[in-house]
Structures are given as structure tokens and as C-alpha cells.
Amino acid sequence: MKKKTYNRKRTLIFASLVTVVALATFGSGRLQPRTTTMQTLAPATIRQGQHKTQALAIVNTIISSDNVKVILQNVSDKNINGIQLAVNGARCQIEFLDADEPNHQVLAPKAIYEQWFPLNNSRALEVTILAVTFEDKTSEGDPELITEIKETRQGARKQLMRLLLILNDTLNSLNADSSISLDRLESNFRASPDDDGISDNIRLGEHKAKGMVLNYIQTLKHTQQTKGMVNIRQALTDLKNRLDSNLNKFN
């Protein structure tokens, strides 16, 4: 039997961008439907691919315009901290490890995860669970895709180490309390290099980690400009503590 192939390019979603929508339930919100007309499809009515693990079950799917919300449940007895799945052949990696709150860093047994995906003008819907990683360092699914998850985490960790050095220099400077330090910090973060000559997975992790930190700095700058009275040093110290924590989790 010919092995099904999936798009080599994949989307990486960090849990820090995920909003809590219910107890032990997560949803991205980044791909909001354009209309309120929704069509709910039971799992039996969608085309389920050849799942590579039985740790997750497709509970439901909701189609709205050109987007679909896939609702998954952890049916294993272990905490899941990483997922790869494919929707109509387009792959997505969902990373929980960088979430700030410990109960958001895993998808616990019986917990539900919700995520919107684009349908890309396709009327058909096929969802395939490709791989998961567990909190206890074990994994299930396609071995190549499990390696992708691990290498992406390696790249994120490498980038966070570089950004922490830059951030520490800023915190140790005399002008760490001024808005000028934010401009300089953003510039230095952008100039931080990605590694050349290594795997695409590591580069993806580096790129996404840098983007996550830049988003924080840009949000901080916007708050300072629109509301003022931001304790910049404290905000940067909070960022440092978060990055220190992420370094340990991405080991």
C-alpha cells in the first residue's frame, strides 16, 4: 500500500497564543469564522485518515464558512504536551510547553482541545492524528514527525538562550526603565541570527520562539504608548522569568 504523504510545510502553534475557553478546554481564536452560520459534523460523517496514534479522539467538527473547528479529546491515561495532525493534508504542530500556567502546559486525560483550521475552499474534510508527545517524555505516532516535534523544541530552546543573553544585558543597563530600552531590545532581538546549515525543524523552532518574544515586546510598547505608566523593568523581568522557565521545559 502506498504511504500517504502530507504537506512538508506545517503550521506551529504555541500554547502562549491559546486562550482558555472552558475548564481544561483550549481554543486558538486566531482563525475566527467570518459568519455565524455553522454546520456541525459528527465524527462518523467526516473522513478520518489513517491515525498514527489512538491517544486522541475526534469528538466533533464545526464548519463555518471556509474554516473548520476540530474538537479533540485526550483518551489516553497520560498528559499530552505536543500534537501533530493533518487537516486535508495540511499539517499543524500544537505546542503546549511554553504556556505560563502549569495546567495549560499539558492536555490532561479526558480534556478537550479545540482549534480552528482553514478549509482552503475544500468541501471535503479529512482529519488525521499523526503524532503526540507525552509529559513523561514518551510519544506515539509517526517516528519522523515525533522527531520533528523534538527538533522544533530544540530550535526554540537555542533561540531562547540567545534572546535571554540580550535581555539580561538590557536589564543590567542603566536605562532599563526607559521606553528607549524597548526600541533597542526589539532591534537586537530582530538581529539575533538563526542557525544556518541545520534542519528546517530547528529553524522553525528558532523563528517561532523569536516571534513569540517580539510579540511580547510589541505589546508592551503599544501599552506604554497608549496607556503609559508601564513598569518596564518589571515587565522585562517577568519576561526573563518566563523565558528561563521555558528553557527548562523545552529540554
| CA-to-CA separations, 182 to 54, 167, 227, 230, 241, in angstroms, rounded | 46, 10, 16, 12, 17
Of 49 and 78, the one with more pLDDT: 78
| CA-to-CA separations, 197 to 57, 157, 194, 203, in angstroms, rounded | 38, 17, 10, 9
User: Rounded to whole angstroms, how far apart are CA atoms 200 and 158?
Assistant: 14
68: nearest Cα among 53, 85, 50, 51: 85
Can you tell me the mean pLDDT for 196-222? 87
CB atoms within 10 A of CB 210: 19
8 A C-beta contact, residue 44 and residue 70? no
| pLDDT at site 105 | 86
137: nearest Cα among 113, 153, 120: 153
Does position 109 have pLDDT exceeding 90, yes or no? yes
8 A C-beta contact, residue 99 and residue 16? yes
8 A C-beta contact, residue 20 and residue 104? yes
Contacts of 134 (CB under 8 A, 6+ apart): 55, 76, 78, 79, 80, 81, 140
Phi then psi for 72, rounded to 5 degrees? -115, 150
8 A C-beta contact, residue 213 and residue 235? no
Q: Kindly tell me the sign of the dihedral angle through the C-alpha atoms of 99, 150, 248, 182.
A: negative
Q: Minimum mean pLDDT among 43-52, 137-146, 156-165, 198-207: which range?
A: 43-52
Q: pLDDT band for 15, please (50, 70, 90 cuts).
A: low
| pLDDT at site 46 | 61
| pLDDT at site 121 | 66
User: Rounded to whole angstroms, how far apart are CA atoms 251 and 247?
Assistant: 7
Does position 178 have pLDDT exceeding 60, yes or no? yes
User: Rounded to whole angstroms, how far apart are CA atoms 251 and 135?
Assistant: 12
